[in-house]
Amino acid sequence: MTDPTNIDGAVAEQAAAPDIAALSRAELLRALNRPETGASLVDEIIIKVGTDIIEGRLKPGDDLNSVELSKLFRTSRTPVREALLTLQREGFVEIEAHRRPRVAGLSLSEVQDMYRVRAYLYEMVSHCVVAAASEEDLDRLEEVQARLQQAADCDDVDRYFWTNVEFRNTEAGLAQNTTLVRVLDSLGLRMLRLRHLSLSLPGRLATSVEDHDRLIRAYRDRDAKLAAAFSASLVMRGLRTIERSSWVGIGS
Amino acid sequence: MTDPTNIDGAVAEQAAAPDIAALSRAELLRALNRPETGASLVDEIIIKVGTDIIEGRLKPGDDLNSVELSKLFRTSRTPVREALLTLQREGFVEIEAHRRPRVAGLSLSEVQDMYRVRAYLYEMVSHCVVAAASEEDLDRLEEVQARLQQAADCDDVDRYFWTNVEFRNTEAGLAQNTTLVRVLDSLGLRMLRLRHLSLSLPGRLATSVEDHDRLIRAYRDRDAKLAAAFSASLVMRGLRTIERSSWVGIGS
DNA sequence: CGAGAATGACATGTCGACACTTTCCAGATT
DNA sequence: AATCTGGAAAGTGTCGACATGTCATTCTCG
């Protein structure tokens, strides 16, 4: 582990903590499978609209008028259209022909389905990680875990959230199966809204950190079955939280 | 107000043998999550280019010049661009900024990854089917299976191929988990090229029919474990075929 | 004679404009 | 008063054109 936080809190935090905006931006682009050197115009729009949806500033059913968006971003409608199409493919936006695009809704049963599939897939990830990851790989995972702990200590939900995304993606990367990563990405994107909501509920961060700890220990012990079980239960706990919350699915 | 189109003539067409082109078209659009009533322009391009890639007329590395395509389809570049972006999202096309789009390649290890994930997911499908499908549902599955048998008897690879797609999709539908279906769709699209190749090899159709038979019997017996095993082995048999063939991955 | 720079052709990214579809509102009709 | 109808307003789908970036060839210079 790294040194404890006996230094001045504010300074240590700023030094150890990369910019959230940059982090979220990078994770989003990676998940969208976008080349780093891409045309920034479309990417800007995707990121702005996408994070607005994920973090709840845009709600299901909200209109996404392409003319207005183009005014907002000082571009023509072409890049806006492309961005909306990409967001549609990821399930953030619904587009019907000749109708205004809207922020997509999610029914509760859809949400449950998504979590089940995700849990199932993460069991596979865990099996692969145990089979393929070196000790150094696990060190990398633990480093992310340390930052997770920090964020939890500060009760910084947004930071925790995006670092958590990083953790899960690192884990998936260790599985050495690009297809698995890609599938999880496309699924994960759809779920980002929910995961954000789930982590926003009080007391959730502490238990989440604990779960991650146990998961890493299982990896260290090379116990595939245990790791898979923890991994799946970590996902399903998110679902339980949402089910208990006041979440109501919003019409598809 | 109402219809003058009741000239219902010989609409009782070849119910036994639906048009392959229509079948492939429908399956593709469904997998792409496209509304039925969509703008046909973009869809036409997607279907033409997509099936050309799947059935091997377009090979990895081939250029997909948007100007030339727009001439070919007698449209402007805008719909072509949109179609190519969709195909990119599904892994058929690679687009780098300011470079000509190309038909995407597949390395052997990627192919193996894809089959492994697909096999794993179909185990989940089988579990869900056993849990959720009624006897009538299984009847529907068996009906598709009958058509599969027919196609195999005729040694009609293309028909068998697309009917097989229908079978797998029906099965996934019975799992009653829309997310699972969607994930499988996006993965399945990427694999269509390979599955087509795999089934093209001699002697493959007969064994495939046999496998499907056993799978259905397991469903009838409500034996989830057995069904999952058959389902996975059905997928992996496709991989084995490809590995044994002269397939060489073409540069990513 | 060969390597690097300039140049031109070509393809993509973006733009503003136009036609068509949908939506909404006001006036006419029953 | 409620409903139907007509048409304007708003928004999308498509287009042709321009600007920018990339590639290939040629030209220059060591």
Model confidence pLDDT, tens digit, residues A121-176: 999 999 999 999 999 999 999 999 999 999 999 988 888 988 998 998 899 899 99
CA of B242 to C1' of C1 (A): 50
Q: Using alpha carbons only, give the angle B121, B124, B130 rounded to the nearest 5 degrees.
A: 145
Phi, psi of A63 (to 5 degrees): -75, 145
Examine the pLDDT at B4 and tell me if it is beyond 60.
Answer: no
pLDDT computed for residue B242 by the predictor: 87
For the residues B72-79, what does the mean pLDDT come to? Answer: 95
pLDDT computed for residue B147 by the predictor: 94
Chain A residues touching residue B180 (CB < 8 angstroms): 113, 116-117
Q: Over chain B, what HEC string results?
A: CCCCCCCCCCCCCCCCCCCHHHHHHHHHHHHCCCCCCCCHHHHHHHHHHHHHHHCCCCCCCCECCHHHHHHHHCCCHHHHHHHHHHHHHCCCEECCCCCCCEECCCCHHHHHHHHHHHHHHHHHHHHHHHHHCCHHHHHHHHHHHHHHHHHHHHCCHHHHHHHHHHHHHHHHHHCCCHHHHHHHHHHHHHHHHHHHHHHHCCCHHHHHHHHHHHHHHHHHCCCHHHHHHHHHHHHHHHHHHHHHCCCCCCCC
Number of neighbours of residue A223 by Cβ within 10 angstroms: 15
pLDDT computed for residue B220 by the predictor: 96
Answer yes or no: are the C-beta atoms of A31 and A170 closer than 8 Å. Answer: no
pLDDT computed for residue A9 by the predictor: 39
Examine the pLDDT at B127 and tell me if it is beyond 70.
Answer: yes
pLDDT computed for residue B182 by the predictor: 87
Residue that the structure tokens 């998504």 belong to: A114
Examine the pLDDT at B168 and tell me if it is beyond 60.
Answer: yes
Under CATH, what is the fold of the domain B4-105? Arc Repressor Mutant, subunit A (1.10.10)
pLDDT computed for residue A250 by the predictor: 55
Q: How many CA atoms lie within 13 A of B102 on its CB side?
A: 14
- Identity of the highest mean pLDDT range in B137-141, B159-163, B167-171: B137-141
pLDDT band at B211 (very low <50, low <70, confident <90, very high): very high
pTM of the model: 0.83
pLDDT computed for residue A8 by the predictor: 41
* Nucleotide in closest CA–C1' contact with B38: D13
Q: Which CATH code is given to the segment(s) A107-251? A: 1.20.120.530
pLDDT computed for residue A18 by the predictor: 61
Alpha-helix residue ranges (DSSP H) falling in A133-203: 135-154, 157-174, 178-200
For the residues A207-229, what does the mean pLDDT come to? Answer: 94
CA dihedral B49, B51, B54, B55 (to 10 degrees): -120
Q: Which region among A53-57, A173-177, B21-25 has the lowest average model confidence (pLDDT)?
A: B21-25
Answer yes or no: are the C-beta atoms of A219 and A230 closer than 8 Å. Answer: no
pLDDT computed for residue B39 by the predictor: 58
Chain A residues touching residue B85 (CB < 8 angstroms): 82, 85-86
First and final CA of chain B: distance in angstroms?
Answer: 56
Percent of chain A with pLDDT over 70: 88
Number of neighbours of residue B237 by Cβ within 10 angstroms: 17
For the residues A80-106, what does the mean pLDDT come to? Answer: 92
pLDDT computed for residue A2 by the predictor: 41
Q: Using alpha carbons only, give the angle A121, A56, B183 rounded to the nearest 5 degrees.
A: 25
Answer yes or no: are the C-beta atoms of A111 and A239 closer than 8 Å. Answer: yes
Examine the pLDDT at A31 and tell me if it is beyond 70.
Answer: yes
From B35, B78, B81, residue closest to A97, measured CB to CB: B35
Buried b or exposed e, range B33-64, using 16+ CB within 10 angstroms:
ebeeeeeebbbebbbbbbbebbbeebebeeeb
Domain map (residue ranges) of chain B: 4-105, 107-251
Which H or E run contains A94?
strand A93-94
Show the tokens assigned to B139.
């009847």
pLDDT computed for residue B193 by the predictor: 83
Examine the pLDDT at A244 and tell me if it is beyond 90.
Answer: no
Examine the pLDDT at A33 and tell me if it is beyond 90.
Answer: no
pLDDT computed for residue B139 by the predictor: 95
pLDDT band at B33 (very low <50, low <70, confident <90, very high): confident
Interchain proximity B187–A177, CB inside 8 Å = no
| Residue B204 burial by Cβ neighbours in a 10 Å radius (0-12, 13-18, 19+) | middle
CB contact residues (below 8 A), chain A span 142-171, against chain B: none
